[in-house]
């Protein structure tokens, strides 16, 4: 209970800016305004659809933040402690509190934690994946079925939870080898359970779901065909995810990435030598150790590697928590004489993750505050006498970031991936949500080429952030003077 409490407290400390401010994180803005949860069904996430109905006590969503985030942190903290206790890492005293904190302090969890509603289901999916990896029954058939059932439920909440499961299984392979437990039969059961869960989920979504899967979900779930054109796609996917991952460790902070990998490599070598001295190092053990080391790294992008058009977003990389824990576990078991030093270094790494998460959340809060201020300026412009005939808005260009936001993004590029820009021309559905949030009954139109090149005789307003002019019954908001870049 003490470990759960401390892990939960660390998660709450990392997310203070989120649960002390109101965050309108793109997808949530529509749900907050409309109370509509049907999108989760068309996303292939009926578990999330049902869970949010239970939390809101009805068919219409209610904003109960920060309850979703706090429940998610609690679920993740409990799972983290149960999982790390199973590993039996030989640490005593205050150092024994370190392992579960690897799970909650992860910069790539920050994006998922920002969602008003999805924060619970994303974190619950990751927690469930950890518990699924721990399922162990004396009867193999029961173990497979129970594991498959949990994995099936995980996919109805948030499909990338499977990546966390794969990483956990890789770590437990090393743990079982280290404790002289039978591994191959156990591993076969975990792989079969994963296959069953994926097949059943795909069939259920195609034939049992009461609505059709939307274009967005279809686009990002299309499997690669096994042909010569697939390899370049996989290589590009690995490169893109690698750039995303490295963006959390700019410049000298790469030490926090390189040292754990060095510890992992040296630890696996030492563990192999120890097994050889004990005459337990076999070809089978060598295959398992090498495979586990590779898979726990590949689990970071995970099943996205099998997709034709994966979604490149930080929330897809939740399994990196287990990868860091894997490096720590191997090094502590391989080098017991310096395990306290290793734990001390890990505390520094975790503190760095805490700092990155806090900076990310504060940046999103400041970014939103600035964008809402600009939206209020637009609303004031609409109140002038000459704007009475306007019935729609169109945006040209992208609003630039506030100065403090620009500084944070330069220092930590991961933040630009975590936050989602709202005021701009590239995604029209966001305009409409912002217009509704401002209490305006206006349509949102896509800017025409004429609107981009027109030089109006008269402006409704001009300022450092935008120019506003009227074109017919549409007010055009031109952000180009602010210097922001449009992301198509």
DSSP, residue by residue, 371-432: HHHHHHHHHHHHTSGGGTT--EEEEESBPPPPHHHHHHHHH-THHHHHS---SBSS-HHHHH
In a 10 Å sphere around its CB, with 0-12 CB exposed, 13-18 middle and 19+ buried, how is residue 72 labelled?
buried
Q: What is the Cβ-side half-sphere exposure of residue 184, based on CA atoms within 13 angstroms?
A: 5
Taken in order 349, 353, 358, 362, is the CA torsion positive or negative?
A: positive
Q: What is the Cβ-side half-sphere exposure of residue 313, based on CA atoms within 13 angstroms?
A: 14
pLDDT of residue 245: 96
CA 227 vs. chain centroid, Å, equals: 30
* End-to-end CA separation in angstroms for the chain: 48
pLDDT of residue 488: 54
Residue 63, SS3? coil
Domain ranges for the chain, please list them. Answer: 2-334, 363-482
Reference 319, options 487, 463, 164; nearest CA is 164
Give the H/E segment covering residue 152.
helix 140-157
Alpha-carbon gap, residue 73 to 40, rounded angstroms: 21
Give the H/E segment covering residue 33.
helix 27-34
In a 10 Å sphere around its CB, with 0-12 CB exposed, 13-18 middle and 19+ buried, how is residue 145 labelled?
middle
The single-letter DSSP state of residue 304 is G
List the pLDDT tens digit at each of the 488 positions of the chain.
Answer: 999 999 999 999 999 999 999 888 878 887 887 788 888 999 999 999 999 999 988 888 888 989 999 999 999 999 999 999 999 999 998 999 999 999 999 999 999 999 999 999 999 999 999 999 999 988 999 999 999 999 999 999 999 999 999 999 999 999 999 888 999 999 999 999 999 999 999 999 999 999 999 998 999 999 998 888 899 999 999 999 999 999 999 999 999 999 999 999 998 999 888 888 887 778 898 999 999 999 999 999 999 999 999 999 999 999 999 999 999 999 999 989 999 999 999 999 999 999 999 999 999 999 999 988 998 999 999 888 778 889 999 999 989 998 889 999 999 999 999 988 877 777 777 778 888 888 888 888 888 999 999 989 899 999 989 999 999 999 999 999 888 777 65
In a 10 Å sphere around its CB, with 0-12 CB exposed, 13-18 middle and 19+ buried, how is residue 239 labelled?
exposed
Instruction: Render 109-151 in DSSP notation, one character per residue.
Output: GHHHHT-TTHHHHHHHHHHHHHHHHH---SSHHHHHHHHHHHH
* pTM: predicted TM-score of the whole model, two decimal places: 0.94
Taken in order 249, 252, 256, 258, is the CA torsion positive or negative?
A: positive
Tokens of 33: 């305004």
Tokens of 210: 């009461």
pLDDT of residue 201: 97
In a 10 Å sphere around its CB, with 0-12 CB exposed, 13-18 middle and 19+ buried, how is residue 313 labelled?
middle
């Amino acid at each position: 209970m003490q470990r759960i409490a401390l892990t939960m407290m660390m998660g709450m400390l990392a997310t203070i800016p989120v649960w002390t401010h109101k965050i309108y994180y793109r997808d949530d803005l529509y749900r907050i305004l409309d109370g509509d949860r049907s999108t989760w069904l068309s996303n292939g996430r009926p578990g999330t659809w049902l869970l949010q109905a239970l939390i809101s006590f009805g068919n219409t969503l209610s904003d109960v933040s920060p309850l979703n985030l706090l429940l998610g942190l609690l679920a993740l903290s409990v799972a983290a402690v149960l999982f790390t206790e199973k590993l039996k890492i030989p640490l005593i005293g205050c150092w024994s509190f370190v392992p579960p904190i690897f799970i909650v302090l992860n910069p790539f969890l920050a994006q998922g934690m920002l969602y008003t509603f999805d924060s619970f289901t994303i974190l619950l999916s990751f927690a469930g994946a950890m518990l699924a990896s721990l399922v162990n029954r004396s009867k193999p058939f029961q173990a497979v079925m129970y594991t498959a059932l949990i994995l099936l439920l995980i996919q109805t909440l948030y499909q990338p939870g499977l990546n966390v499961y794969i990483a956990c299984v890789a770590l437990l392979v090393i743990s079982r080898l280290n404790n002289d437990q039978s591994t191959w039969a156990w591993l076969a059961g975990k792989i079969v359970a994963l296959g069953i869960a994926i097949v059943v989920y795909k069939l259920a979504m195609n034939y049992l779901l009461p609505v059709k899967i939307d274009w967005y979900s279809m686009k990002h779930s299309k499997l690669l065909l096994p042909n010569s054109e697939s390899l370049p796609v996989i290589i590009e996917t690995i490169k893109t995810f690698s750039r995303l991952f490295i963006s959390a460790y700019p410049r000298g902070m790469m030490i926090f990435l390189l040292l754990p990998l060095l510890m992992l490599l040296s630890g696996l070598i030492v563990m192999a030598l120890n097994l050889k001295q004990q005459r337990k190092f076999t070809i089978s053990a060598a295959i398992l150790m090498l495979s586990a080391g590779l898979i726990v790294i590949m689990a970071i992008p995970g099943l996205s590697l099998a997709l034709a058009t994966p979604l490149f977003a930080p929330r897809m990389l939740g399994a990196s928590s287990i990868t860091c824990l894997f490096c720590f576990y191997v090094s502590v078991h391989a080098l017991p004489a310096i395990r306290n030093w290793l734990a001390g270094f890990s505390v520094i790494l975790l503190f760095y993750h805490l700092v990155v998460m806090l900076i990310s959340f504060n940046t999103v809060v400041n970014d939103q505050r600035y964008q809402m201020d600009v939206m209020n300026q637009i609303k004031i412009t609409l109140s002038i006498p000459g704007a009475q005939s306007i019935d729609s808005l169109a945006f040209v260009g992208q609003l630039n970031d506030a100065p403090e936001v620009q500084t944070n993004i330069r220092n930590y590029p991961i933040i630009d991936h975590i936050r989602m820009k709202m005021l701009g021309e590239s995604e029209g559905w966001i305009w409409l949500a912002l217009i509704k949030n401002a209490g305006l009954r206006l349509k949102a139109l896509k800017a025409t080429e004429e609107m981009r090149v027109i030089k109006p005789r008269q402006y409704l307003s001009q300022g450092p952030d935008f120019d506003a002019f009227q074109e017919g019954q549409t007010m055009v908001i031109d952000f180009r003077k602010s210097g922001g870049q449009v992301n198509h």
